[in-house]
Amino acid sequence: MRFNFRLYLKTIKFAFFKSEGTPAKLSPKRFFINLFIFLFWPAWMLSMRIAYLFDNLFYPDHQDQDIKEPVFIVGNFRSGTTFLHRLLTKDLHSTSFTSWELYLAPSVIGRKFYHWLMKINRAVGNPARWVIGLFNRIVEKETYMHKIGLNEAEEDGQVFFQIWSSFHLLAFFPFPKLIKEYIYYDDQIPEEVKERDMQYYSEIIKKHIYAHDGKRYISKNPSHSPKVKTLHRQFPDAKFINIVRNPLQVIPSSISLFSKHCHTYGNPENEYNLQETVIEHSKHWYLYPHQYLKTLPSNQYVRV
């Protein structure tokens, strides 16, 4: 597993020692959230590493799985990417990560294990439906802008949490300096980090496609917008769909989204937060994807 140890240590530094004057200032609530993340995350990663070792032992042929013409949906947050993503994944020949696959079982053996558990669950009257229902109701209250459920198709940006190399860290750690380079991924992220990210991403996609009998992979991830060149280099036959929505609607909605994250995981003094960062990334993510993708053959790119 390729891990951005430098960014991880930098995040700890900001979270505990440089948070004053930020939306994540070190209140008691924020302290315990930091503590939970930095204690829970290593345990989560250890379980994944063990599962990946078992994948190589029991399902070694997943490493030879082809990734044929994957589809990448890009565009700013709050642009309608989720709607299109979930519509496309209704095609029985396509596949995408669901929330439970992303967070509980990105490994092949993990999915086999959970499917086995679900068989037992159904045999004894499906008690798990109460747990799943409770989870869905809890997250629904906190995610009114973006429906989340264990069995809902979800954006795969969370894959990069596993190697601590993601713009999405901003949701939990609202320190713009931490993720500045990720706004301009293709231009500012070092080549060795790009290579490490893409190798891991490819490995996870192979596991997913293998577990879904070779179906076509569909990705939706706004934070892929600044990395379209890197993605195209990694997946030369990929198809790209660039969603463009009126910025007068996108930017206020995005500010509300990130402000909601700030209030969920901390005690910011202001109602709205990270306005400058949202405007900066939105501007670049509007312009850059089309600048690069328009150079591709017409059967590989469409702007909506």
The CATH number assigned to the domain holding 236 equals 3.40.50.300
> pLDDT tens-digit profile of 43-67?
888 999 999 999 999 999 999 999 9
- Assess if residue 3 is contained within a domain: no
Of the candidates 4, 2, 8, 118, the one whose C-alpha atom is nearest the C-alpha of residue 49 is 2
Q: How many CB atoms lie within 10 A of CB 87?
A: 10
Q: Quote the number of domains for the chain.
A: 1
- Assess if residue 94 is contained within a domain: yes
Distances (CA, A) of 167 to 5, 72, 84, 153, 194: 15, 17, 22, 20, 13
Partnered with residue 94 across adjacent β-strands are 216
**Confidence at residue 47, expressed as pLDDT on a 0 to 100 scale:** 92
Residue 105 scores a pLDDT above 60: yes
Could you tell me the pLDDT band of residue 137, with boundaries at 50, 70 and 90? low
- Assess if residue 87 is contained within a domain: yes
What is the number of helices (H) and of strands (E) in the chain?
Answer: 13, 5
- R_g (Cα) of the chain, nearest Å: 19
> pLDDT tens-digit profile of 237-283?
999 999 999 999 999 999 999 999 999 999 999 999 999 999 999 99
- Assess if residue 244 is contained within a domain: yes
Residue 142 scores a pLDDT above 70: no
Share of the chain above pLDDT 90, in %: 81
> pLDDT tens-digit profile of 200-243?
999 999 999 999 999 999 999 999 999 999 999 999 999 999 99
**Confidence at residue 134, expressed as pLDDT on a 0 to 100 scale:** 67
- Assess if residue 130 is contained within a domain: no
**Confidence at residue 119, expressed as pLDDT on a 0 to 100 scale:** 84
Please report the sign of the dihedral spanned by the C-alpha atoms of residue 187, residue 193, residue 199, residue 204: negative
> pLDDT tens-digit profile of 111-134?
999 888 878 878 888 777 776 666
**Confidence at residue 139, expressed as pLDDT on a 0 to 100 scale:** 57
**Confidence at residue 138, expressed as pLDDT on a 0 to 100 scale:** 60
- Assess if residue 132 is contained within a domain: no
**Confidence at residue 132, expressed as pLDDT on a 0 to 100 scale:** 67
241-266 burial code (b ≥16 CB/10 A, e <16)? bbbbbeeeebbebbbebbbbbbeebb
**Confidence at residue 141, expressed as pLDDT on a 0 to 100 scale:** 57
Could you tell me the pLDDT band of residue 172, with boundaries at 50, 70 and 90? very high
Domain that holds residue 290: 24-99+153-303
- Predicted TM-score (pTM) of the model is 0.92
Partnered with residue 216 across adjacent β-strands are 94
- Assess if residue 198 is contained within a domain: yes
Of the candidates 284, 286, 255, 252, the one whose C-alpha atom is nearest the C-alpha of residue 180 is 284
Residue 198 scores a pLDDT above 60: yes
- Assess if residue 116 is contained within a domain: no
